[in-house]
Amino acid sequence: MKHLAVICGAILIFACGVSAQVNPNAASPVLLASSSPGSAAAGPAALLSLAPMPEPDPDPPQGVYGVFPSYHWQAYAGYTFLRFYEIPNAAGNTNGFNFSVDYYAKDWVAVDGELTATFGSQGGVGTSLVSEMGGMRFRWTMPGGLAIWVHGLAGASHFSPQTPFGGEDAFGYEAGGGVDASPHHKRLGYRLQADMVGTHYFGAYQYSPKISVGVVYQF
């Protein structure tokens, strides 16, 4: 009887091993122990339900394009050359400086104020021509920090020394344009401008070309 009991036990163990290999989807003791009574989840599905869900990728960074600071004021200072046609067949070269201040109420239109002073020599006597004018300026901005503009001004001019042909003060006006370059839209830029200056001295009208180059500060 003792030997018969050992043989029956071996047969029973062998039968259980064969049943486990034939039915691999059977719930393991670990899954059964981790599942609550009455739960429908079992097998690999139970493990998947317990795994943490991956977090979604954050939104890609959004770039900002075409946003540049807007400046309403401009101040300019530069060197100026003016060829002053005093009377027919008589002209003199003068050199000096040019100041201007502009306020842009809108990006394309501004109130313009300008002071110009140039100095020369005629017959061994020093001469000077000073003008104070105001008017309007219109500009067109372009890529790369460039701006093309035109303006028209009117005001007073003063020529010295006194001559026997007339007074030192006269009405003056100016029309012209230029180019401003502000690399990377910075505050400091450069300007090249050309104008025609009109005055009325000695009973004659003068039309004098003027060229100026200098720096612009925006604020």
What digits encode the pLDDT tens for the residues 52-82?
Answer: 566 655 555 555 445 556 889 999 999 999 9
Q: What pLDDT score does 33 carry?
A: 38
Mean pLDDT of the chain: 80
Q: Which domains does the chain have, with CATH numbers?
A: 73-218 (2.40.160.20)
DSSP H/E element including 148: strand 146-160
Distances (CA, A) of 209 to 85, 98, 116: 9, 14, 13
**Number of neighbours of residue 116 by Cβ within 10 angstroms:** 25
Q: What pLDDT score does 5 carry?
A: 53
DSSP H/E element including 107: none
Q: What pLDDT score does 52 carry?
A: 59
Reduced to 3 states, what is the DSSP secondary structure of residue 62? Answer: coil
CA distance 162 to 167: 7
CB neighbour burial string for 164-185, b if at least 16 within 10 angstroms, e if fewer: eeeeeebebbbebbbebebeee
Q: What pLDDT score does 114 carry?
A: 98
Q: What percent of the chain is predicted at pLDDT more than 90?
A: 55
Q: What pLDDT score does 174 carry?
A: 98
Q: What pLDDT score does 61 carry?
A: 54
- Asked whether 193 and 64 are in contact (CB, 8 A), the reply is no
Query: Which residues in the chain show pLDDT less than 70?
Result: 1-69
